[in-house]
Amino acid sequence: MRESKRKNWWLACLSAFIFCSFNPSWAQMHINMGEDSPLRKLQIAELAVSNLYVDSVDERKLVEDAIRGMIEKLDPHSSYATPKEVQQMNEPLNGNFEGIGVQFNMIDDTLLVIQPVTGGPSERVGIIAGDRIVSVNDTAIAGVKMSKEEIMRRLRGPKDTKVRLGVVRQGISERLMFTVMRDKIPVKSIDAVYMISPEVGYIRIGNFGATTHEEFLKALDKLSDQGMQHLILDLQENGGGYLQAAVAIANEFLSKGDLIVYTDGLRTPRQEYRARGEGQFMFGRVVVLVDEYTASAAEIVTGAIQDQDRGEVVGRRTFGKGLVQRPIDLPDGSMIRLTVAHYYTPSGRCIQKPYVKGKQKDYQMDVVNRLRHGELTNQDSIHFADSLKFETLQRHRTVYGGGGIMPDHFIPLDTTRYTNYHRQLAAKSIIIQQNLRYVDNNRQELKKKYKTFDKFKSHFNVPQQLIDAIVAEADKQGVKPKDDAEFQKTMPYLRLQLKALVARDLWDMSEYFAIINEESDAVKKALELLVEP
């Protein structure tokens, strides 16, 4: 018995040592290893199960399940991730990955190259838009029902390693073979950059990653060279990312010393982030677009611009993710992201919306509940208590707390634009698949006819044959409008969407948004505000 106690004591000490070794800032914390210690209790439980349980158990999974169980009882944003999940989670934010460098989609169980990355390894060896990659290192990936994840795993690999690709190209009878040297492939966090009017630029940020600030500066330079005086900053559907990236973006708009955001927690002292006063867009007018999926770092930028009266906010109340997570790296590459503080806007508003610990499902249903309660469609359904009133710092306008950022100008969600017929077409990928086929069959003709995007935007009309193909495929899959009225109601936005998708496949995402934004009520309101005297 004495030997067993000694073993338990040494294992507990070893665990504490490992924990502190991988988290040096925690090494000063007192770790109670007495008889009533929760840590010791957990160690004994794990030892008992792994050594005495009637059947064999996976110790790693046992520990992971225990960690997940603890985390699930906390707030909605503390989390545990396995090594693989950590890699997948960080990739969009790190600014690059290693692979062959193509944008692709799957059509008829075959990888179709939409665009090779400019200057990337695939473009360098001659792979072009419209190519079908059918084999990787002599292993067939087309027609074998291989998952998209497995195909990506085969295509990606360490920089400077070679991969042999079998390619089928329209007009060429034999299969083409390319040897591609993998390289670092940039992951862009800015989706679109273009001039939306002679004096107004438009920048849409998809997330806040390691390269966002650098991309943003290049976008500002590009638009300034084209005569930009004012800016629409589109943060709709931006789920956030790195705090430092958000602070760097906000800094480009604010005066020296202006508070951008501060964090505060029970065991984490208040930390302030202020503008340095050397931004590249400190004087033009700004409108920020947001919606119910704008979250975290995107809310920090929005709140700073609104509270400092630097610009106006258009859209719907943002998500309300204002909890600060500290990453705690574990020895096997897994990670705990533990909430340690709250984010506050310059006026003192807490960005985080209310939640009940351990009630993850209720929290996840928040946006759905907003729709049910009418908040997304009717401004009169939104009510704030007097205790949630705050003032902006320069013009002393009233703004509201309570979670998320409430815009200055409300844009209701247009629930009539997407008919049930359209939703089913999209859900079954009928729209995207038929669009891919159309572009694939007509790419050369389209490129020849529309040598510039401006000409395409002015003169291209979605052909009836594409609409007919969508309707026929939908009918084959049992997707039908309930009546002719629903069909006619679906057509205008479907045609706009298809035109934007064709533009994306011929050029890039900037051209997609240049078309789709023509019918955006939020963009129309932003333009209205920016052209006012």
Annotated catalytic sites, by residue?
296, 307, 321
Cβ contact 200:207 at 8 Å: no
- ∠ CA(34), CA(22), CA(64), 5° rounding? 75
User: H helices then E strands: how many in the chain?
Assistant: 18, 21
Q: H-helix or E-strand containing 164?
A: strand 162-168
Measured CA to CA in angstroms, residue 157 lies from 140, 148, 183, 337 at distances of 18, 16, 9, 27
Token pair for 235: 């943060």
Cβ contact 279:254 at 8 Å: yes
Cβ contact 467:495 at 8 Å: yes
Strands 110-116 and 102-107: antiparallel
Gyration radius from the chain CA atoms: 27
Residue 275: Cβ within 10 Å count:
22
Q: For residues 223 and 214, what is the distance between their CA atoms, to the nearest angstrom?
A: 15
- ∠ CA(327), CA(328), CA(334), 5° rounding? 100
Half-sphere exposure for 120 (CA within 13 Å, toward CB)? 22
Residue whose C-alpha is closest to residue 485's, from 529, 419, 407, 434: 419
Token pair for 112: 């179709």
Angle at which helices 59-72 and 38-52 cross, to 10°: 140
DSSP string, 56-76: ---HHHHHHHHHHHHHHTS-T
- Report CA 186 to chain centroid distance, whole Å: 16
Token pair for 95: 């600014």
E runs forming strands in 248-382: 259-264, 271-274, 286-290, 312-315, 323-329, 335-344
Q: Hey, CA dihedral for 451, 453, 459, 464, is it positive or negative?
A: positive
Measured CA to CA in angstroms, residue 256 lies from 113, 245, 250, 298, 492 at distances of 46, 18, 12, 21, 47
Cβ contact 279:308 at 8 Å: no
CB crowding 377-402: b at 16 or more within 10 Å, else e: eeeeebeeeeeeebebbeeeeebbbb
